[in-house]
Chain A
Amino acid sequence: MQPVTSFSGKVVPLPVSDIDTDQIIPARFLKTIEKLGLGENLFNDWRYLPDGGPNPEFVLNQPRAAGGTILLAGDNFGCGSSREHAPWALLGFGFRAVISTSFADIFRNNCLKNGLLPVAVDEATLAELFEAASSDEGLELTVDLASQTLTLPSGRGVSFPIDDFSKQCLLEGGDQLSYIQQRMPAISAYESQSAEALNTLA
C-alpha cells in the first residue's frame, strides 16, 4: 500500500443516502480472482444504460468526474455486503477519499486496509459541501491525514476522526499483517492454553 498523506483533488458529488456495496460494485462482477480492473464497473448499474452505453445523467459520465479523486456521498455510505471489491472499485476509478456523514463498519475497515480515506463529517458540513459542489463543477478540496483535516472552500478546516493505529499505518504505508505476525509468540501461547478445541479436518 502506498503511503497516504496530504492531497488536493476534484470532488464528485453523489447526493444519495445509504449507498450499499451492491450499488458500488454489483455482485456479477465479483467472479474475478483479481483486485484490479474493477474501476470500470464502479456503480455499474447506475452508470450504464441497458444497451451498455454510458448514462449521461449519472455523475461519473459527466465531464466534472474526469480526474475526480474525492467522492462526496450521502449518509451511511457502504452498507451491506462485506465485499472488499467496493473499495477496490473506488480506487480503481481513481478515488482516494470518500466524504459522508457515516460509513458502515466493514466498509470503513476495508477502506482503511487499502488506503482509501473515509472522511466522516457532520450533517451541516456535508450539506455545505453539496452546495459548494453544485455551484462549482471544478470544486477542489484538500485532505490532510496527518492533521486529520478537510479544508473547505471557505478556508475553514474541519477535522475528521480516524484511530491512531490506522492513521499511522496509512501514513507509513504500513502493513497490519506484519504487526500481527510480530506477535506470534503470544498467539502460540494463547493457542496452547486457551483456544477452544476444534477440528475442521476431522
Chain B
Amino acid sequence: MPRYAVKTARALIRDAPEPEAPAPAWARLELVRKPRTLYEKVWDSHVVTHEPGAPAVLYIDLHLVHEVTSPQAFQGLRDRGIKVRRPDRTQATMDHSIPTQNQALPIMDPIAAKQVQQLRINCREFDVPLADLGDESQGIVHVIGPELGLTRPGITVVCGDSHTSTHGAFGALAFGIGTTEVEHVLATQCLLQRRSKTCEVRFAGRVADGVVAKDLILALIAEIGIGGGTGQVLEYTGEAIRSLSMEGRMTVCNMSIEGGARAGMVAPDDTTYEFLADKPTVPRGAEWDAAVERWRRLPSDEGAVYDRTVEIDAAGLEPMITWGTNPGMGVRVSQPVPEPNGNPSVRKALDYMRLEPGKPLIGQPVDVVFIGSCTNSRMTDLRQAASLLQGRKVDPRVRMMVVPGSERIRAQAEAEGLADIFRAAGADWRQAGCSMCIAMNGDQLGSGQYCVSTSNRNFEGRQGKGGRTFLASPLTAAAAAVEGSVADPRRYL
C-alpha cells in the first residue's frame, strides 16, 4: 500500500494475534459465552445456514435499489421467470441519473430517461415500492433509508452501491454489492457471504471547533490508505464518535469504503433511538420498547477482541482536505501540497491536479463548490454550511451548488430558511439527487476546473472529465466559496 508521507494524526495501529483454531465441540458452551463484537452479533443472528466448504447464506433484512445498478438484475429475474421474493423488504428510489432542477419536466438525456423509465417499469412489474421523482420520500438511496426509519440497529442492509456502508451508523451491517448479487437478493432475500475481519477504529478525545465528522473520516483514510481496510468491517468507537449526531455518524460510516473496508459500524445508543423514534416506518408503543430493549444488547461486549485496532487522536485533528486523486490523499487544510519523494502515484496525482509540491493549499483558486452527496447532504451539513454563509457572499468567480440529499431535507431546509441563506449568498439551491458527486446527470465540472466538494470521491474525472476535486467538510467548502479559494473554516468561527 503506498503511503502518502504526510502524517495527519498520531495513530497507533496494531494487529491482534492470529485467531485460535476453532473450538472443539465440547467447548462450544464456552464459545457461546465468548464476548462478541457488534459485527459478530449481527453476523451470527443473520446466518441462515453455513455448510462446510461454502460461504454462509446470510439473510438480508433491507434491500435498497436505484436505477443504475438494478436494470440488469431485474432482467435476470425476468429471464429466469422468478419474482421478487420480499417486495416488503425492498425499497427503490431514483437518485443517480436524474436532474436536480425541473424534476417535473421530462428528462432531456434520452439514455438517462430510458434508465429511469426502466426502473418504473421494473418496480411496477415486480411490486417493488418506488420513491419516484416528485414523491415526498425521493432522494439519495442512503439518505432515504434512515429517513424512513427502515435502517435500524442490528439489521443487514445491502444495495448495489458501495456507500451502503452509510447505514452502519445505526449499528446495522450494511455493505455494497454488485448487480449479480442484487439479483440474488431480489430472488432469495439472501446472499452468499464470508465473515470479515474486524477492526476497531477509536477516535480518542473530543474534536476542536471547526472540526466535523468529515474531517474524522478523511484523517482516518489518510492514515490507513485506500486499501487499508480491505477485508475488514470497521467499528468506530471513542468519545469523538459518541458525541456525533446520527448525521455525523453517517458521514463517517459512508466513507468506510474509501478506506477499502467492507462496512463501517457504530454501536447504537440513545442518540440512535432518539433519531429513529419519530420516523415513519418504525414500530410504535410496546413494540418500540421491545425493539429498543433488543438494540441495547448490540454493542460490543466487554472484552470482545477485534482483529486489529487503529487509534486516532481526534482532539489533535484539524480540518482536512484532499489534494490528490484518491480519498487517501488528504492533509490538514493548513498543510502544503506534499512532495512526491519518488512515489509515482503522488507524482501522477499532482500532474493531474496541476498542483506544485510544497505550495500551500490555502489560497488555491477554485471554480466550483459543491455541497451535497450521501456523505454530506443532510440537515446538519446544510446548517453548518449556512451558518458560515449567513450574511456573506459567494465569491463571484465561484459557482456554488447546494443539493439536498432528499426531498424531505429540501422541504425542511426551505422551511428553516437555509435555502434562503444559500440563495442570498449567491449559491444555486437544487432538488434532491446525487448530482455532481457522480456527474451522471449533467451537473458536472468542466475540464481543468477545481472544485471543493463535500462528496466522497476525488478520482480522476469523477465530477466530470478532466475536473479536479478537493474533498472537504461542508464548513471548509463554504469557506472556500466565500474566499474563492481553498480556505480554513476556523477563520469564520
Binding site for B on A (CB under 8 A): 16-18, 20, 22-23, 26-28, 30-35, 45, 50, 75-76, 79-84, 102, 104-106, 109-110, 113-114, 163-165, 176-177, 179-181, 183-184, 186-187, 190-191, 194-202
Q: Which residue of B lies closest to A50 (CB)?
A: B447
Contact across chains for B2 and A75 when beta carbons are under 8 A apart: yes
CB atoms of B227 and A104 under 8 A apart: yes
List 13 contacting pairs A-B, 8 Å CB cutoff, sorted by A: A31-B68, A31-B115, A81-B162, A84-B178, A84-B180, A104-B230, A163-B55, A177-B80, A179-B192, A180-B188, A181-B188, A186-B49, A201-B88
Within 8 A of A (CB), among B440-477: 440, 447, 457, 459-462, 465-466
Contact of B72 among A34, A177, A196 (CB under 8 A): A34
Extra inter-chain contacts (17) besides given A109-B181, A196-B152, A198-B152, CB under 8 Å: A17-B344, A20-B459, A23-B460, A30-B69, A31-B109, A31-B111, A33-B72, A83-B69, A84-B180, A106-B162, A109-B177, A163-B55, A176-B184, A184-B188, A187-B59, A187-B188, A187-B189
Closest to B131 in A: A200
**Chain B min CB distance to A195 (Å):** 6
Residue of B nearest to A184 (CB): B188
Closest residue on chain A to residue B114 by CB atoms: A33
Closest beta carbon of chain A to B47's beta carbon, Å: 9
Pick from A30, A164, A190, A196 the residue with the most CB of B within 10 Å: A196
Q: Is the CB of B439 within 8 A of A201?
A: no
- A18 with B461: CB separation less than 8 A: no
CB contacts (< 8 Å) of B88 on chain A: these are 198-201
Query: Does B112 belong to the interface (CB within 8 Å)?
Result: yes
B83-134 with Cβ < 8 A to chain A = 87-91, 96-97, 109, 111-112, 114-115, 118, 129
A106 touches which one: B1, B177, B281, B457 (CB < 8 A)?
A: B177
Instruction: Say yes or no for B37: interface residue by CB 8 A criterion.
Output: no
Stretch from B153-161, B238-246, B266-274, B399-407 that touches the partner: B153-161
- Whether B460 contacts A22 by the Cβ 8 Å rule is yes
Against A, the Cβ 8 Å flags (1 = close, 0 = not) of B33-66 are: 0000000000001001100011101010110000
Interface residues of B in 305-335 (CB under 8 A from A): 326
Contact check, A16 vs B348: say whether CB atoms are below 8 A apart. Answer: yes
Q: Cβ of B260 and Cβ of A82 under 8 Å apart?
A: no
**A-side contacts of B129, CB under 8 Å:** 200-201
Given contacts A190-B48, A200-B91, A109 and B178 within 8 Å (CB-CB): yes
A27 and B439 contact, Cβ closer than 8 Å, known pairs A105-B231, A183-B49: yes
- Cross-chain contact B162 with A198 (CB below 8 angstroms): no
- B180 A26 Cβ-Cβ under 8 A: no
Contact A190 B59 (CB under 8 A): yes
In the bound assembly, the distance between CA atoms of A28 and B115 in angstroms comes to 12
Given A18-B326, A104-B260, A190-B48; A28-B183 close (CB under 8 Å): no
Kindly state the separation between the CA atoms of A114 and B230 in the bound complex, as whole angstroms: 21
Evaluate contact between B72 and A35: CB separation under 8 angstroms: yes
Q: A184 → chain B, closest Cβ, in Å?
A: 7
Closest-CB distance, A140 to chain B (whole angstroms): 27
Chain A residues closer than 8 Å to B109, beta-carbon distance: 31
Q: Does B372 contact A (CB under 8 A)?
A: no
B174 within 8 A of A: no
- CB of B176 within 8 A of chain A? yes
Q: Which residues of A contact B459 (CB under 8 A)?
A: 20, 22-23, 80
Q: Which residues of B contact A197 (CB under 8 A)?
A: 283
What's the least CB distance linking B191 to chain A, in Å? 8
Chain B stretch 402-439: residues in CB contact (< 8 A) with chain A: 438-439
Asked if A27 and B440 sit within 8 Å, CB to CB, the answer is: yes
Within 8 A of A (CB), among B223-267: 226-227, 230-231, 257, 260, 262
Whether B97 lies near A165 (C-beta < 8 A) is: no
Bound state CA distance, A156 and B118, in angstroms?
A: 50
In the complex, residue of chain A having the shortest beta-carbon distance to the beta carbon of B349 = A18
Flag if B226 contacts A82 (CB, 8 Å).
no
Question: Which of B226, B438, B447 is close to A27, meaning CB atoms less than 8 Å apart?
Answer: B438
> In the bound complex, do residue B162 and residue A80 qualify as a contact, i.e. CB atoms below 8 Å apart?
yes
Complex Cα gap A125–B358 (Å): 35
**Max chain A Cβ within 10 angstroms of own Cβ: one of B154, B180, B344:** B180
Take A110-B178, A176-B184 as given contacts and tell me if A198 and B62 are in contact as well, using a CB distance cutoff of 8 Å. Answer: yes
Residue on A nearest B462 in the bound complex, by CB: A22
Which residues on B sit within 8 Å (CB–CB) of A190?
A: 48, 59
Complex-state Cα separation, A167 to B59, whole angstroms: 23
CB distance from A201 to the nearest CB of B (A): 5
Output the residue of B55, B118, B162 with the most chain A CB within 10 A. Answer: B162
Residues in B neighbouring A181, C-beta threshold 8 A: 187-188
| Interface check B71, CB cutoff 8 A | yes
Asked whether A114 and B61 contact (CB < 8 A) given A28-B439, A198-B152, the answer is no
Q: How far is the CB of A30 from chain B (nearest CB, A)?
A: 5
Q: Are A110 and B48 in contact (CB under 8 A)?
A: no
State in angstroms the CA–CA spacing of A75 and B225 once bound together.
12
Smallest CB–CB gap between B126 and chain A, Å? 13
Distance in angstroms between the alpha carbons of A165 and B53 in the assembled complex: 6
Whether B194 is near chain A, meaning CB under 8 Å from some CB there, is: yes
Cα distance A84–B162 when bound, in Å? Answer: 11
Which residue from B59, B179, B345 sits with its C-beta under 8 Å from A18?
A: B345
Q: B124-155, CB under 8 A of A: which get 1 and which 0? A: 00000100000000000000000010101011
Q: Which of B80, B152, B462, B466 gathers the greatest number of chain A CB atoms within 10 Å?
A: B462
Query: Is A198 within 8 A of B155, CB to CB?
Result: yes
- CB of B149 to closest CB in A, whole Å: 9
Q: Which residues of A contact B114 (CB under 8 A)?
A: 31, 33
Q: Does B9 contact A (CB under 8 A)?
A: no
Query: Are B177 and A200 in touch, CB under 8 angstroms?
Result: no
Q: Which residue of A lies closest to B152 (CB)?
A: A196
Nearest CB on B from A61, distance (A):
18
Docked Cα-Cα span, A186 to B312, in Å, equals 43
B190 in the interface, Cβ–Cβ < 8 Å? yes
Q: Is the CB of A82 within 8 A of B348?
A: no
CB neighbours of B154 from chain A (8 A): 196
Nearest chain B CB to A190's CB is how many angstroms away? Answer: 4
